[in-house]
Amino acid sequence: MTPPMLSKGQNAPLPDDTPRIDVVLGWTESDIEVDASALLLGADAKVRSDADFVFYNQPESPDGAVRFLGTGATEDGAQARISIDLPAVAADVDTIALAGSLGAGTFGGLGKLTFRVVDAAGYLLAEYVTADAGAESAFVFGEIYRRGGAWKVRAVGQGWDSGLAGLATDFGVQVDEEAEAASASADAVESEAVEALEIEAPAVRAAAPAAETPERAPAPERGKGVRTAKRVARKAKPVEFRLAEVDSWQPARLFSVFGVGAGEEQEQRATSALIATMQVVRPLARALCARMGAPAGAFEGYVEVRYERGDGTVVPDAVLKVVRGARVWTGLLEVKTGAGKLRRDQLESYLDVARRKKYDAVISLSNDVPAGAGELPVEVDRRKLAKVALRHLSWAEVTHEVRMLLAHGGIEDDLQAWIAGEFLRYLEHPRSGATELIDMGRHWVAVRDAVTTGTLRAGDQKAAAVAGRWVSLSRHLALRLTAELGVTVKHVLPRRHQSDPAARNAAVAERLAADGVFEAVLRIPETAGDLIVAADLRTNRVRCRIALDAPDEGTPSRRVSWLLRQLPDAPGEVQVEAVFSERGNVSCELLSTVRGNPKSLTDGRAGAIVSFSLERAFAMGARRSGTAASFITSVTAAVDSFYGTVVQPLRGWVPAAPRQEQIDGADGDGA
């Protein structure tokens, strides 16, 4: 049955056999952060207490029925996800309002807004799409409400200009305004203390214990109400070892790779290291639990737990428990390392156990990086997902989460930061078995050779399989850059391919058969343009490219000079292409040539330069996996190099502010 497409004000029933749903709020402009929230309302359309306001500072309702799972990028913008366990919703809650708010700007600037309801298996149950928002800074996307004992969904699409605090207040939430101001003051005091510590003389720092931190200013007494201000993420000081007599001395490692074997032993060590780190480093536990669909709460993990199933025994690699209020979320974890592959029968047996025990989810963790967020590397009987969610994590995602927390704040405790750093070191060691994407699959050589000989055809199943690996690699590149840069990097796909992996892989295979080229578009916030990566299997070159608009004023020479000033350290072999206003008028030279003679790009050309394109070609490895000469390694290195030397220093043209005419007497000296 086709899921209903709702219009504003329209409603639809939710299936009776769907106890758990996710509400996904989406918007097109991913550079703007929307703060999603859910409000549990009684018959009077007000919250019963401040605890019924679920958002980033209060990510779960007291009974655990409604949980905020966080915000992330998609190929079509950005989205926030809120999970609702319908049977667990209190009887005196009539409506759950799903809303969003902005700290700056309006919803009219976010493009298309979407309100989607999906079940635990990811199937769409209802959708509402609107582009009618205007000056609102708070917006109710829709409602999940109860009528006659059954649950329904309604598209609302209404907003107001009062922001998050105003939204909460209108629904009866008391906002603690005094705590907001006091928190900002305390943050400033602590920031000054940290800066003071950083400028101490090295001798003074060396005399202090490694884990010593500035004393935090006393926290102000918290008033009544909910604090809506976001906490500023801070980075912990890394633990330093200073007493080694020579540089070759190595400190003892918390997670040792010494003696790690293969197969089962490798999986057990990696699982134990992961669970132990999550139990101590709470920010990491929260980040990974959000990916699993678990609430933010106290985390515990248990390994090698045995369950009876029929005449046999089922032993998942770990059992995960998260406590939030009176509710306990439980997930079964199946782990694979190295080249280990997830099996359908194994996952289905865990789903059976989870359903019988009334657990929430089964999570698979392996080196498989699905081509799209939410995709599963193994298909299972979807009837088994009626009451239990199945989610997948890759070791690459775990690694990226740790890197993000260590590099961009989120872990404030020095000891926790050291433990997370030790865990990251373990993951990055080849013996851990927790690798990033390093393999193009078993059909890579055959497809590569068929491209070279011109015998590849788009309908070849091997081509479709390799195409899927390329999309996985593209997503992997976006994850790597996200962790490194601290901003959400998107792998951009056409909308029609986002929910249809078969059509997406077919389109990639068709381009490969026709041109011998893979292509990916990476959208990085605050950059001058998209980073386009093209791997040409016929020429064995990886080409990275960015296009940006030229200044709309000044002579062609001045526009070229504007570009050159931003690229003092870019390699001379970068190709610089200038597109002129006169149709078909394009010139291209090496950057080294343009530096020596800027007019080489403009001489003999009519019209003004309207845009520039910068491109650099890199040698492409041909091997399937594992070495510096491999295809994946060469693509990754090309992206890193091009971003650092070309994309990062570029800024789009910003015209000067309009000049104000000088008015006699305006300076106050008139008669």
Mean predicted confidence (pLDDT) in 543-548: 93
CA distance 308 to 311: 7
Cα–chain center distance at 81? 13
Query: pLDDT of 407-451, one tens digit each?
Result: 777 787 888 889 998 999 888 887 888 876 667 878 888 988 899
User: What is the predicted pLDDT for the residue at 615?
Assistant: 94
Best mean pLDDT range from 74-88, 234-248, 389-403: 389-403
pLDDT of 143 above 90: yes
pLDDT of 647 above 80: yes
User: What is the predicted pLDDT for the residue at 311?
Assistant: 78
Spell out a b/e string for 609-627, using b for 16 or more CB atoms within 10 Å of the CB, else e. bbbbbbbbbbebbbbbbee
Query: pLDDT of 266-295, one tens digit each?
Result: 888 899 999 999 999 988 998 888 888 887
Mean pLDDT, the chain, whole residue set: 80
Domain 5-170: assigned CATH number: 2.60.60.30
Closest listed residue to residue 542, CA positions, set 622, 644, 626, 436: 622
List of residues 6+ apart from 81 with CB closer than 8 A: 22, 23, 24, 25, 36, 69, 70, 71, 72
Which CATH entry fits the domain spanning 264-432: 3.40.1350, 2.130.10, 2.40.10, 3.90.320?
3.40.1350
User: What is the predicted pLDDT for the residue at 642?
Assistant: 93
Residue with tokens 């980073």: 531
Neighbours of 444 (CB within 10 A): 21
Q: What percent of the chain has pLDDT over 70?
A: 81
User: What is the predicted pLDDT for the residue at 177?
Assistant: 55
User: What is the predicted pLDDT for the residue at 65?
Assistant: 85
Contact status, residue 398 vs residue 434, Cβ threshold 8 Å: yes
Contact status, residue 8 vs residue 128, Cβ threshold 8 Å: yes
Mean predicted confidence (pLDDT) in 499-506: 80
Which range is least confidently modeled, 27-41, 107-121, 236-250?
236-250
Which range is least confidently modeled, 40-44, 247-251, 471-475?
247-251
Residue with tokens 């007493």: 243
pLDDT band at 182 (very low <50, low <70, confident <90, very high): very low
Map out the domains of the chain as residue ranges: 5-170, 264-432, 444-647
Query: pLDDT of 187-226, one tens digit each?
Result: 443 333 333 323 333 333 333 333 333 333 343 333 456 6
SS3 category, 442: coil
User: What is the predicted pLDDT for the residue at 330?
Assistant: 92
What number of CA atoms fall less than 13 Å from residue 537's CA on the CB side? Answer: 32
pLDDT band at 372 (very low <50, low <70, confident <90, very high): low
pLDDT of 616 above 90: yes
Which range is least confidently modeled, 42-51, 70-79, 351-360?
70-79
pLDDT band at 234 (very low <50, low <70, confident <90, very high): low
Rg of the chain over Cα atoms, rounded to whole angstroms, equals 28
User: What ranges in 214-343 are assigned the alpha helix state H?
Assistant: 264-280, 282-292
Contact status, residue 138 vs residue 157, Cβ threshold 8 Å: no
User: What is the predicted pLDDT for the residue at 413?
Assistant: 83
